[in-house]
Amino acid sequence: MISMKNKILLFAIILISSLTSEKLAGQTKKDVYYVVDTLSTAPNNKIAELGTEGNLKYISFYCKCVPPYNRNLTFVYDPGKQNVQILREINHPTLSWKDLQELIVKAGAEFKHQYNLTILEVLPDKTYRSANVRLVLYPETTVDFEKL
């Protein structure tokens, strides 16, 4: 026989879990777009670096804006596995660097759960490489010794 206290507890757990699942089911990520133009930006004004590490491509912004604040903001994509397209024109509204930075600072590590970021890289032939990227989160640095 279940006591009244246990029945109330069970009811509360069921109620909370159903409310939480409804909230999660209703959440959708917002699509955001940012143009990276490293071709027409003077080297001393660049805010981003594009490169390859193994089979991944990365976009690293010179912004230490996600905790633990000791690394540049980095996004990656796998050109062999993800949908990478070449576009002749941009058909979506794009964010300014200031707007993107504000979203990232506000969302922090939750950015990847709240937004789908597509980077549009300007190519030499005036087209754009479109890639859906994911935020790289680094673990906090640990100290194995103490200075005396």
- pLDDT(88) > 50: yes
Distance of CA 133 to the CA centre of its chain: 7
Residue 115 host element (H or E): strand 115-122
pLDDT in tens, 25-71: 556 899 999 999 888 888 888 888 889 988 889 999 988 877 767 78
Can you give the pLDDT at residue 16?
A: 62
Nearest to 34 by CA among 127, 117, 126, 101: 117
**Cα first-last separation, the chain:** 62
Note the pLDDT tens digit of each residue in 3-29: 666 556 545 455 465 555 445 555 689
| 47-61: burial string, b at 16+ Cβ within 10 Å, e else | ebeeeeeeeebbbbb
- Number of helices (H), then strands (E), belonging to the chain: the values are 3, 7
- CA–CA gap between residue 65 and residue 106 (Å, rounded): 10
